[in-house]
Amino acid sequence: MGNADCIFCRITRGEAPASVVYEDEDIIAFMDIRPVNPGHTLVVPKRHYAYIWELPDEEVGKLFVTARRIAAATKEALDADGVRIVQLSGRAAGQEVFHVHVHVIPYYDAKAPQRRRATQEELERIAAEIRKRL
């Protein structure tokens, strides 16, 4: 299943490391290694589709239901003031990895977001906190 060169397909197959927050037969969610804020999670269908318009309706539904659940768990786990849910399709929209994914990003009133490289330990600790609330 998936594309041999796609990093998200490799994560789905267990061939590349990720701090997994959630997984079922259709969806995997894991921590973004360059988070906008701590807790930034990517929700990814296991089947490879490059763009949102390629997904069948039932898979779009599963993807966004999972994103909503992770948003609620993230808000609670990290005491976030709000959560942004974002899906980018196409290079012009800012898509960097051409496998459909949804960003779930916690935000805090007093803190301006700034992307940075997170440590594996930080990702694992935050993933565990979110998992407890799913």
The residues annotated as belonging to the active site are: 101
Structure-token pair, residue 134? 């799913």
Q: DSSP 3-state assignment of 59?
A: helix
Give residue 30's Cα distance to chain centre.
5
From the list 41, 36, 40, 48, the residue with the least C-alpha distance to 8 is 48
